[in-house]
Amino acid sequence: MYTEGVLILYTNADTLTNKLNELNTLIKSLQHKPSIIAEVKPKHKWHSNINELQIEGYCMFCNNLDNVNSRGDIIYVDKSLHSSEISIETKFSENNFVKINSDLVIGNIYRSPGSSEENDTELYDLIQLISKKFANFMLVGDVNFNDIDWNKWSSPNNSGPSSQFTDVLRDNFFTSAH
């Protein structure tokens, strides 16, 4: 995704250590180096050395990589950009937010396919919070609402968690770049 001079690469890595060489090759092959790389589930289910996940030329901001019950998430930011991690008060744990060049906030979220109703509500609350708190932000991630038709912004039954999710996005003036 390319927006206002910022190239963003996102993936659900599902064990990045096995794919780090491929990612480095991809970065080198691109005409423009990504400014931001966001990934969910980079950690192996049983073990990961956080240092193994570092990418040369990028600052790494990670969440839940030391938690045995989480696969974690990472946002890499090109070292030429000024970046700092932002802490958001939320009960939704699978998130990571970084401020870039003092005007852009990028968030990376992961919602498990087996997410509880309570966790979904915490996600909706997080979206409402960030939409009120920041004027210029981008949210990436894997929310595992596979039944959403993003061209129509609807789910088959127009009810349930998927429908609630798209309603929250609409209510907070989100758009989708897919």
134 lies in a domain?
A: yes
Question: What is the rounded end-to-end Cα distance, in angstroms, of the chain?
Answer: 8
Cα distances (angstroms) measured from residue 41 to each of 37, 83, 95, 96, 148:
13, 22, 11, 12, 21
Question: 19-53 b/e with 16+ CB inside 10 Å = b?
Answer: ebeebeeebeeeeeebbbbbbbbbbeeeebeeeeb
116 lies in a domain?
A: yes
Q: Tens digit of pLDDT for each residue in 10-35?
A: 988 877 777 888 898 999 999 889 99
6 lies in a domain?
A: yes
pLDDT of residue 89: 92
154 lies in a domain?
A: no
User: Could you tell me the residue range of the domain that residue 125 belongs to?
Assistant: 2-144
Position 140 confidence tier, pLDDT thresholds 50, 70, 90: very high
125 lies in a domain?
A: yes
pLDDT of residue 4: 57
Look at strands 104-110 and 137-142 and give their pairing: parallel
pLDDT of residue 46: 57
Q: What is the CATH number of the domain that holds 20?
A: 3.60.10.10
Q: Over pLDDT 70: what percentage of the chain? A: 93
pLDDT of residue 11: 86
153 lies in a domain?
A: no
pLDDT of residue 91: 94
SS3 6: strand
From CA 90, how far away is CA 21, in angstroms rounded? 34
Nearest to 133 by CA among 94, 172, 82, 83: 172
pLDDT of residue 42: 73
Structure token pair of residue 111: 């919602």
Structure token pair of residue 80: 């030429």
pLDDT of residue 2: 44
Provide Rg for the chain, Cα atoms: 16
Position 157 confidence tier, pLDDT thresholds 50, 70, 90: confident
171 lies in a domain?
A: no
108 or 175, higher pLDDT: 108
Kindly state the helix (H) or strand (E) to which residue 76 belongs, with its residue range.
Answer: strand 73-78
Angle, vertex CA 159, rays to CA 153 and CA 164, nearest 5 = 65
The total of structural domains in the chain comes to 1
From CA 57, how far away is CA 139, in angstroms rounded? 23
pLDDT of residue 45: 64
From CA 39, how far away is CA 23, in angstroms rounded? 11
* Mean pLDDT value across the chain: 87
Position 85 confidence tier, pLDDT thresholds 50, 70, 90: very high
Does pTM surpass 0.85?
yes
